Amino acid sequence: MFPLKDNIPTDRTALVTIALLAINVIVYFVLQKGGIFSGPDNGIVVDYGAIPYEFTHPGDNCAITSQGALACEGMAGVSGSAPGQPPFWVTAFSSMFMHGSILHLAGNMLFLWIFGNNVEDAMGRVKFVAFYLLGGLAAIIAQVAVEPDAAIPTIGASGAVAAVLGGYILLYPRARVVTLIFIIFFFTILELPALLILGFWFVQQIAFGVYGVANPTGGGGGVAYFAHIGGFAFGLLAIKLFASRTKDYTIPPKYPVY
């Protein structure tokens, strides 16, 4: 399922959401040196990505070895020192604006645009900035708590966007989303309840996250599912503290509903 747009109009231009979209795109193409058909520079990802091991072992940095593997100071069998890098607390923020591929970037930005403008509209621009960043931090904390010794960079706006989704689902429980659905080689467009789409997404993250813990070598696909869960949970719990106004629209659907 690919959401395309929702049916909740906004009262003002979502300047913060637009700015976040622009920042993420600029970081990927300019700072990360990523491309449409090629991924970003691995060295930059390691330096500015949020690595759980660096959070739980302050002062011990991780780096790519001459063999191309990622090793961290203080790990068994690892000698030498890693080159100077940003402090781990800096990477907690920088990692929110980095992505591993053009598809990773496009997916996060699509969800941010569809649902972020309404959440920003409900709480105002300054509060939305704080909500977004805190949601991203909550996502990192959740991922570190589950995998404290992981030496894999966590990057992406997914955690912060997940917080936006969690807030949206409580602010607009009756909203509907125009959704592109693929069925093998065919596709159709339906207008589905946002509660169904976002609820299914959250349950899916929990299922995949639990499966990854139960099967540590079972191929989690490199996705930080618990970061998604942590961000979404933050959005659910904190939205009422940030949102000052909501709108409850029940616009008749324009597309078939099944």
Q: Pairing between strand 2-6 and 70-72? A: unpaired
Kindly report the backbone phi and psi dihedral angles of residue 65, in degrees, each rounded to the nearest multiple of 5, phi listed first. -80, 175
Mean pLDDT across the chain, nearest whole number?
Answer: 87
Q: Is residue 64 part of a domain?
A: yes
Q: Is residue 204 part of a domain?
A: yes
Q: Is residue 248 part of a domain?
A: no
Q: Is residue 156 part of a domain?
A: yes
| pLDDT tens figures, 150-174 | 988 999 999 999 999 999 999 998 9
Q: Which residues are CB-contacts of 229 (< 8 A; sequence separation ≥ 6)?
A: 142, 162, 202, 205, 206, 209
Provide the number of structural domains found in the chain. 1
Q: Is residue 194 part of a domain?
A: yes
Q: pLDDT band at residue 217, thresholds of 50, 70 and 90?
A: very low
Residue 148 has pLDDT above 90, yes or no: yes
Q: Which residues are CB-contacts of 239 (< 8 A; sequence separation ≥ 6)?
A: 119, 131, 166, 167, 170, 171
Output the six-digit token pair for 109.
């930005």
Residue 109 has pLDDT above 50, yes or no: yes
> For position 186, what pLDDT does the model report?
76
Q: Are 135 and 165 in contact (CB under 8 A)?
A: no
Find the CATH number of the domain harbouring 13.
1.20.1540.10
Please tell me the pTM assigned to this model. 0.88
| pLDDT tens figures, 168-213 | 999 998 999 998 887 777 778 888 899 998 988 888 888 877 766 6
Residue 248 has pLDDT above 60, yes or no: no
Q: Is residue 195 part of a domain?
A: yes
**How far apart, in whole angstroms, are the C-alpha atoms of residue 129 and residue 209?**
27
Kindly report the backbone phi and psi dihedral angles of residue 84, in degrees, each rounded to the nearest multiple of 5, phi listed first. -55, 135
| Higher-confidence position of 64 and 244 | 64
Q: Is residue 250 part of a domain?
A: no
Q: Is residue 47 part of a domain?
A: yes
State the residue range of the domain holding 23: 2-242
> For position 218, what pLDDT does the model report?
46
